[in-house]
Amino acid sequence: MIQKLALQVYSGKKKYAEMLFFLFFVWLILGNSKVFSQDSIPDKKDLTEEKSIQFQEFFFKALSEKSIENYQKAIENLESCNQIIENQVAVFFEFSKNYFALNNTALAKEYIQRALQKEPENSWMLKHLVAIYDRESNFSEAIKTQQKIATINPKERENLVRLYLMNNQLKEALALVSILEKESVLSSEFVSLKNRLDNSKVPDVKEIKLDDVEGLKGQFENNKSYEILEKILQKSDNNMDDLLKFSKEGITLFPEQPFVYLQYGKALISKKEFQKALNSLKNGLDFVIETSMEKEFYIEMAKAFKGLGNSIEEKKFEQKATNLKI
């Protein structure tokens, strides 16, 4: 039962599972003396108990900080965990997830590889490694890892199709789609893809990628790349809930990309959160290089000031937008 609860954290699908995983570690540390084989002193049990309590506290804080997107704080707490008890798989995994959220793929990859040295068949950690390779556009390595996942869990083969397409391996993608269709396990999304491939005399891989909004969302779950996010934001102008959700995530993942601030500002204006919109637009303006985008920022800032009832600033930014020559 405890092992099943622990696995929920590795899935990354339910935040409350992290709390359950914390309870698992309480059991692990207090109940398994092997964890302390190098550090514990048999005649000083109090010291061992104190260390386990400290570890638990820092690990819990790390999970809490990550849940509210304070990734750097989470990392600091994980460093404390690692000083108390070294080389714990869960700590390495959490390090990797936090560095990944900060878009530091080098360290995210380093830590997940350390974790996989201890548990090479852990499918949740392998999925995370795929996501890292995906973000780096290192599709060859992503495919190798996904093939390993598919061996462990055949239901994961559809994601392998997507990676084949991203790596321009059209032949391999078609072959796998045909196998999945024969086994009657092909989802409707990929049935549609197969039809498009079959009806195309000279298929263009760039055109057959899943570039509708829902398809892009599915890709973004596994590949947090700016290219995919930008397409989602461009196609979400009429869906303010999606625009709000993905632009907010974009600011966390890509804090130097002005477009995510612009779209977040637009979404907030639509929700009548004018001051928050203005703050986002001001922050993003620092990263703007292109005149055309600068003009868009001024237009949205004028709208935000209008919503706040500040007609002087509204007209000021309207004039700034007008004065810009594109």
pLDDT tens digits for range 131-142: 899 888 888 999
Cα–Cα distance, 1 to 73 (Å, whole number): 31
Angle subtended by helix axes 188-198 and 157-166, to nearest 10: 40
Stronger pLDDT, 216 or 150, i.e. the higher one: 150
Q: What is the CATH number of the domain that holds 88?
A: 1.25.40
Residue 78 has pLDDT above 50, yes or no: yes
Residue 270 has pLDDT above 90, yes or no: yes
- With cut-offs at 50, 70 and 90, classify the pLDDT of residue 214: confident
Structural domain harbouring 273: 225-323
Q: What is the average pLDDT across 52-70?
A: 88
Residues 5 and 106 in one domain: yes
Residues 240 and 279 in one domain: yes
Count of domains forming the chain: 3
Final residue in a domain of this structure, among 81, 99, 119: 119
pLDDT number for residue 177: 87
Residues 33 and 113 in one domain: yes
Residues 244 and 299 in one domain: yes
Residue 46 has pLDDT above 60, yes or no: no
| Least-confidence region, from 20-24, 31-35, 177-181, 220-224 | 31-35
Q: What is the average pLDDT across 27-42?
A: 41
Supply the DSSP symbol for 154.
G
Residues 15 and 40 in one domain: yes
Residues 213 and 297 in one domain: no
Residues 147 and 231 in one domain: no
State pLDDT tens for residues 311-325: 999 999 999 888 876
Residues 240 and 176 in one domain: no
Final residue in a domain of this structure, among 177, 202, 224: 224
Residue 117 has pLDDT above 50, yes or no: yes
pLDDT number for residue 31: 45
Cα–Cα distance, 325 to 291 (Å, whole number): 8
Residues 258 and 292 in one domain: yes
Final residue in a domain of this structure, among 100, 119, 138: 119
Check if the beta carbon of residue 98 is closer than 8 Å to that of residue 66: yes
* Tokens linked to 281: 């637009």
Q: What is the average pLDDT across 64-93?
A: 91
Supply the DSSP symbol for 263.
H
Check if the beta carbon of residue 14 is closer than 8 Å to that of residue 124: no
Residues 5 and 113 in one domain: yes
Q: What is the CATH number of the domain that holds 310?
A: 1.25.40.10
C-beta atoms surrounding 311 within 10 Å: 10
pLDDT number for residue 41: 40
| Least-confidence region, from 45-54, 81-90, 255-264 | 45-54
Residues 251 and 311 in one domain: yes
- Number of residues that this document lists for the chain: 326
CA angle, residues 33, 119, 2, in degrees to nearest 5? 55
- With cut-offs at 50, 70 and 90, classify the pLDDT of residue 298: very high
Residues 196 and 268 in one domain: no
Computed over every residue of the chain, the mean pLDDT equals: 80
Q: Residue 155 burial (CB < 10 Å; 0-12/13-18/19+)?
A: exposed
Stronger pLDDT, 117 or 174, i.e. the higher one: 117
C-beta atoms surrounding 241 within 10 Å: 11
